[in-house]
């Protein structure tokens, strides 16, 4: 690795090479020998710089300066001997190469030097021969290169060792058969709560720390690695602290030799306990918020939210202020027991209402979460006795504010993100509650309106019918008794009276029919719409013939409706088309499937409907009609029938280009049709 070659995408910068020059210090009692050796070494190699001394003490002084790469020392010295010098050098400069200079026949001295740790010896008989100096230079070069290579290896090892200690991940390597621990860093012990010494002695010791329920899975992955495949897994580690399980994540790879066999297995193990706890908290959060759709009131929603934050986020202070839009203020609504205890109150009613000028109101209007400052600008803090800097205020849409915190501990980013997720879910729940409340109000209003309509129907069927029958009876008697004596004006007046009574009766009957659409109708069932339409056309045959009209029908799919009301709907729309069609009118009826419903159309070729009248014509008595016999209720009846079936009705028209009435009804489920078939 020191040559900088990358493995995969890993790179280690090459260590700096030491100087190519070799500084040699020669220690010999004879000055002439010192001069001969130093001159001879420098002559033998340009890379050698040689110095000499006759005393060991002077040599040690030179060594302290630190510019010596190799020490060449004679055995016999005036103040000591070479072996003593070697011993001291190994104590103070253990990385300094040492070559013993011996005389002829000094094999015993040479052997003793080698045994004492010398890196070599060279025999010198006092004759300055070039071969001798070349041999000495070669020996010096060899031992210096060895030392420098060893030093680089040790430096690289130290570099990698330090790298392994700068991580909280356990880095490890075992032999391919898991029989020997090759590398393990110190992160193993706090992660496994087991001593490294046990793992070095027995590589399988780490398995004893794996949770019993996960050991089989881990053993299977070990076999996978030994077979030459990478492995990723998550499992639990038991610790001695009441056997609390710690979660770890492992990624491991096989290391192959030149023959392609698995020589080592290596990887790292990371503590993911906090990540797992966060996942559990998010799961708990999702589970808790599933109760929100069942909440039917704001109080139920805020109770669930405060309890969820209190339990899942785990902060002792959780509170909710509801926004009162009429008074423009925040009203304390729901609080955790911890919040009430720390505020020193028994319930939300004892906490202050926050007016429009309060700092929290400004934060609510801003609509973004914020950490409360040391002072909120109010003489009466909303939660007295609680350090505000420990609280996060989260506006909940336009419904209120959620306050979360813990005195002395700031809310971290993960907890804040959970609170913001809860906030969005709360907004959805409160919006739904508001919509349901409005729908309930509308249902109540509709019920009241229907009850009023039913009351009117009762009045119309009893209180109005009787006077009308009396008028009609006396008009008939008057015509029978005195009809022959009427002049032309009298006959006209009598005709007006009879027509008025008849029209009044028709209007009362139509109103009764209109009021009974939702109360007297039959249960919707699968209905053959073509058969109903054909029956309607037969009942209108005289009107169709008198109008010289043509009625064309396309395919009409079956629908789920009240059969009688569908017939009434067809009749009203066809009659309307016949009366407002042109000369010899043509009425075209068709239908198509559309998103689970049947979309019907009834088109005529009359003058059309003005744009400003297209919505009004479906309102009771708002139909712009002057034709004889019209009650002004027919199209209103159509809308009431369609609404009862959950459909829609509208008209599309261009001036002088006819009108097309559209309405939708529930289609028969296709699966049901296939089953019935």
Tell me the per-residue pLDDT of 372-391, one tens digit each, with 9 for 90 and over.
765 444 445 677 656 555 67
- What's the pLDDT at 339? 82
Query: What does the pLDDT average to over 441-464?
Result: 74
**Of 88-97, 156-165, 288-297, 322-331, minimum mean pLDDT range:** 156-165
Q: Do 417 and 558 fall into the same domain?
A: no
Q: Are 210 and 236 in contact (CB under 8 A)?
A: yes
The token pair that represents 405 in the structure block: 């915190």
Query: What does the pLDDT average to over 208-212?
Result: 91
Residue 5, domain member (yes or no)? no
**DSSP label at residue 16:** P
**Residue 4 pLDDT exceeds 50:** no
Higher pLDDT, 276 or 180: 180
Q: Do 293 and 176 fall into the same domain?
A: no
User: Euclidean distance between the first and final Cα of the chain, in Å?
Assistant: 79
Question: Phi, psi at residue 552, to the nearest 5°?
Answer: -105, 130
Say what percent of the chain tops pLDDT 70. Answer: 85
How many other C-beta atoms can be found within 10 angstroms of the C-beta atom of residue 258? 6
Q: Do 295 and 423 fall into the same domain?
A: yes
Q: Do 440 and 403 fall into the same domain?
A: yes
Question: Phi, psi at residue 72, to the nearest 5°?
Answer: -105, 120
Higher pLDDT, 185 or 382: 185
Q: Do 363 and 449 fall into the same domain?
A: yes
CATH code for the domain in which residue 131 is found: 3.40.50.2300
Query: What does the pLDDT average to over 317-342?
Result: 87
- What's the pLDDT at 76? 84
Average pLDDT of the chain is 81
Q: Give the pLDDT band (50/70/90) at residue 270.
A: very high
Residue pLDDT, tens place only, 123-170:
877 676 667 777 777 888 888 788 777 777 777 777 777 777 788 899
Residue 16, domain member (yes or no)? no
- What's the pLDDT at 9? 54
| Parent domain of 669 | 520-675
Residue 409, domain member (yes or no)? yes
In angstroms, the Cα distances linking 3 to 12, 13, 151, 160, 504 are 8, 8, 14, 15, 110
CATH code for the domain in which residue 623 is found: 3.30.565.10
Residue with tokens 């973004």: 368
- What's the pLDDT at 11? 58
Residue 15, domain member (yes or no)? no
Query: What does the pLDDT average to over 77-103?
Result: 87
Query: What does the pLDDT average to over 436-455?
Result: 81
Residue 264, domain member (yes or no)? yes
Q: Give the pLDDT band (50/70/90) at residue 329.
A: very high
CATH code for the domain in which residue 265 is found: 3.30.450.20
Residue 469, helix vs strand vs coil:
helix
Residue 17, domain member (yes or no)? no
- What's the pLDDT at 557? 94
- What's the pLDDT at 3? 40
**Residue 462 pLDDT exceeds 90:** no
- What's the pLDDT at 116? 86
Residue pLDDT, tens place only, 28-75:
988 888 888 888 888 877 888 888 899 888 888 888 887 888 888 888
> Rounded to whole angstroms, how far apart are CA atoms 645 and 597?
11
Q: Give the pLDDT band (50/70/90) at residue 119.
A: confident
Q: Are 49 and 20 in contact (CB under 8 A)?
A: no
**Residue 304 pLDDT exceeds 80:** yes
**Of 322-331, 439-448, 608-617, 639-648, minimum mean pLDDT range:** 608-617
- What's the pLDDT at 306? 83
Of 489, 516, 543, which residue is a domain's last? 516
Can you give the pTM of this predicted structure? 0.49
Q: Do 403 and 303 fall into the same domain?
A: yes
- What's the pLDDT at 308? 79
Of 516, 531, 553, which residue is a domain's last? 516
- What's the pLDDT at 574? 92
Residue pLDDT, tens place only, 622-655:
555 545 445 567 888 888 899 889 999 999 988 7
> Rounded to whole angstroms, how far apart are CA atoms 570 and 332?
57
Q: Do 560 and 481 fall into the same domain?
A: no
Burial 269-279 (b: 16+ CB within 10 A, else e): bbbbbeebeee
Residue 640, domain member (yes or no)? yes
Q: Do 552 and 506 fall into the same domain?
A: no
**Residue 2 pLDDT exceeds 60:** no
> Rounded to whole angstroms, how far apart are CA atoms 265 and 171?
11
CATH code for the domain in which residue 347 is found: 3.30.450.40
- What's the pLDDT at 551? 92
- Our CA angle for 412, 418, 419, nearest 5°, is 90
> Rounded to whole angstroms, how far apart are CA atoms 100 and 56?
13
Q: How far is CA 295 from the centre of its chain?
A: 24
Say what percent of the chain tops pLDDT 90. Answer: 22
- What's the pLDDT at 379? 43
**Residue 201 pLDDT exceeds 70:** yes
**DSSP label at residue 311:** I
- What's the pLDDT at 1? 37
Query: What does the pLDDT average to over 573-593?
Result: 88
**DSSP label at residue 7:** B
> Rounded to whole angstroms, how far apart are CA atoms 569 and 374?
70
The upper half-sphere exposure of residue 193, i.e. CA atoms within 13 Å in the direction of its Cβ, equals 18
**Residue 359 pLDDT exceeds 80:** yes
Radius of gyration of the chain (CA): 51
Query: What does the pLDDT average to over 237-245?
Result: 63
The token pair that represents 596 in the structure block: 């689970």
Q: Do 234 and 342 fall into the same domain?
A: no
In angstroms, the Cα distances linking 651 to 207, 635, 660, 666 are 77, 11, 6, 19
Domain count, the chain: 4
Q: Do 171 and 144 fall into the same domain?
A: no
Q: Are 651 and 617 in contact (CB under 8 A)?
A: yes
Q: Give the pLDDT band (50/70/90) at residue 675.
A: very low
Q: Are 23 and 67 in contact (CB under 8 A)?
A: yes
Query: What does the pLDDT average to over 535-561?
Result: 91
| Reduced 3-state DSSP string for 59-89 | HHHHHHHCCCCEEEEECECCCCEHHHHHHHH
Residue 8, domain member (yes or no)? no
Q: Do 223 and 326 fall into the same domain?
A: no
Q: Are 181 and 199 in contact (CB under 8 A)?
A: yes
How many other C-beta atoms can be found within 10 angstroms of the C-beta atom of residue 463? 10
**Of 120-124, 219-223, 274-278, 312-316, minimum mean pLDDT range:** 312-316
Of 516, 543, 567, which residue is a domain's last? 516
**DSSP label at residue 2:** T
Q: Do 305 and 243 fall into the same domain?
A: no
**Of 363-367, 511-515, 534-538, minimum mean pLDDT range:** 511-515
């Amino acid at each position: 690795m020191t040559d900088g070659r990358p493995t995969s995408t890993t790179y280690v910068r090459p260590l700096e090479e030491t100087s190519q020059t070799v500084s040699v210090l020669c220690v010999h009692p004879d000055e002439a020998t010192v001069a001969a050796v130093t001159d001879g070494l420098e002559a033998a190699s340009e890379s050698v710089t040689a110095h000499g001394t006759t005393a060991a003490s002077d040599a040690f002084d030179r060594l302290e300066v630190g510019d010596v790469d190799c020490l060449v020392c004679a055995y016999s010295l005036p103040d000591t001997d070479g072996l003593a010098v070697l011993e001291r050098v190994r104590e103070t400069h253990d990385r300094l190469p040492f070559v013993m200079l011996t005389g002829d026949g000094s094999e015993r001295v040479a052997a003793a030097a080698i045994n004492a740790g010398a890196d070599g010896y060279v025999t010198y008989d006092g004759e300055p021969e070039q071969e001798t100096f070349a041999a000495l230079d070669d020996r010096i070069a060899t031992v210096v290169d060895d030392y420098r290579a060893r030093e680089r290896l040790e430096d690289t090892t130290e570099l990698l060792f330090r790298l392994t200690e700068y991580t909280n991940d356990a880095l490890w390597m075992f032999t391919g058969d898991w029989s020997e621990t090759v590398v393990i860093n110190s992160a193993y012990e706090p992660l496994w709560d087991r001593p490294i010494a046990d793992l070095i002695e027995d590589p399988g010791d780490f398995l004893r720390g794996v949770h019993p329920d996960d050991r089989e899975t881990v053993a299977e992955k070990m076999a996978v690695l030994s077979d030459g495949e990478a492995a990723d897994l998550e499992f639990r580690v038991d610790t001695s602290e009441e056997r609390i399980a710690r979660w770890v994540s492992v990624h491991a790879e096989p290391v192959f030799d030149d023959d392609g066999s698995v020589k080592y297995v290596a990887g790292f193990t990371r503590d993911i306990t906090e990540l797992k706890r966060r996942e559990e908290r998010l799961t708990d959060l999702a589970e808790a918020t599933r109760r929100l759709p069942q909440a039917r009131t704001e109080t139920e929603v805020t109770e669930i939210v405060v309890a969820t934050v209190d339990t899942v986020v785990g902060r002792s202070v959780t509170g909710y202020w509801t926004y009162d839009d009429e008074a423009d203020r925040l009203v304390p609504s729901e609080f955790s027991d911890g919040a009430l205890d720390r505020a020193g109150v028994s319930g939300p009613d004892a906490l202050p209402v926050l007016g429009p000028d309060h700092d929290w109101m400004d934060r609510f209007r801003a609509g973004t979460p914020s950490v409360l400052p040391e002072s909120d600008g109010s003489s009466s803090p909303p939660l007295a006795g609680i350090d505000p800097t420990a609280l996060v205020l989260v506006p909940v849409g336009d419904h209120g504010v959620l306050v979360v915190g813990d005195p002395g501990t700031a809310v971290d980013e993960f907890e804040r993100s959970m609170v913001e997720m809860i906030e969005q879910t709360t907004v959805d729940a409160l919006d739904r509650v508001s919509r349901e409340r409005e729908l309930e109000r509308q249902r109540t209003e509709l019920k009241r309106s229907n009850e009023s309509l039913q009351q009117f129907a009762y009045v119309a069927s009893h209180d109005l019918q009787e006077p009308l029958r009396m008028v009609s009876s006396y008009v008939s008697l008057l015509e029978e008794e005195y009809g022959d004596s009427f002049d032309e004006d009298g006959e006209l007046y009598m005709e007006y009276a009879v027509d008025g009574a008849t029209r009044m009766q028709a209007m009362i009957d139509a109103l009764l029919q209109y009021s009974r659409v939702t109360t007297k109708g039959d249960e919707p069932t699968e209905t053959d719409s073509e058969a109903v339409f054909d029956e309607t056309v037969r009942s209108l045959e005289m009107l169709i013939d008198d109008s010289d009209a043509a009625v064309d029908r396309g395919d009409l799919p079956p629908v789920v409706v009240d059969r009688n009301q569908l017939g009434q709907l067809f009749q009203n729309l066809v009659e309307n088309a016949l009366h407002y069609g042109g000369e010899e009118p043509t009425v075209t009826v068709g239908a198509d499937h559309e998103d689970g419903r049947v979309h019907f159309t009834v088109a005529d070729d009359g003058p059309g409907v003005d744009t400003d009248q297209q919505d009004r014509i479906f309102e009771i008595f708002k139909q712009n009609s002057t034709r004889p016999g019209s009650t002004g209720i027919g199209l209103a009846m159509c809308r009431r029938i369609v609404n009862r079936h959950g459909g829609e009705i509208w008209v599309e028209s261009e001036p002088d280009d006819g009108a097309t009435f559209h309405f939708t009804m529930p289609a028969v489920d296709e699966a049901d049709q296939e089953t019935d078939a």
